[in-house]
């Protein structure tokens, strides 16, 4: 499993997306501007940088099971 952070401007959604992916899903997401990480902690570091850059309030993590949750700041 890998973790993807979408590097594009998140507006109008107002959150940075961090997505857990398997190899199949990775191929579909790689067509978008993104950063790839081995761990969720590494992905969260990048997401926090993008949150500051794009001036949005939240980070939302999407899991393989289809669940998602907002990260507490």
The pLDDT score that the predictor gives to residue 31 is 76
Are residues 44 and 71 in contact, defined by beta-carbon separation less than 8 angstroms? Answer: yes
**Euclidean distance between CA atoms 69 and 61, whole angstroms:** 5
The count of other CB atoms within 10 Å of the CB of residue 40 is 15
Average pLDDT, the chain: 90
| pLDDT above 70 for 73 | no
Note the pLDDT tens digit of each residue in 21-34: 987 777 777 778 89
For 35-48, what is the mean pLDDT?
96
What 8-state DSSP symbol labels residue 72?
P
What 8-state DSSP symbol labels residue 30?
T
């Amino acid at each position: 499993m890998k973790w993807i952070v979408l590097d594009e401007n998140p507006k109008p959604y107002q959150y940075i997306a961090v997505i857990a992916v398997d190899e199949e899903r990775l191929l579909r997401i790689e067509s978008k501007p993104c950063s790839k990480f081995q761990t969720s902690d590494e992905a969260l570091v990048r997401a926090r940088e993008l949150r500051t850059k794009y001036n949005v309030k939240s980070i939302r993590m999407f899991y393989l099971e289809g669940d998602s949750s907002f990260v507490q700041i």
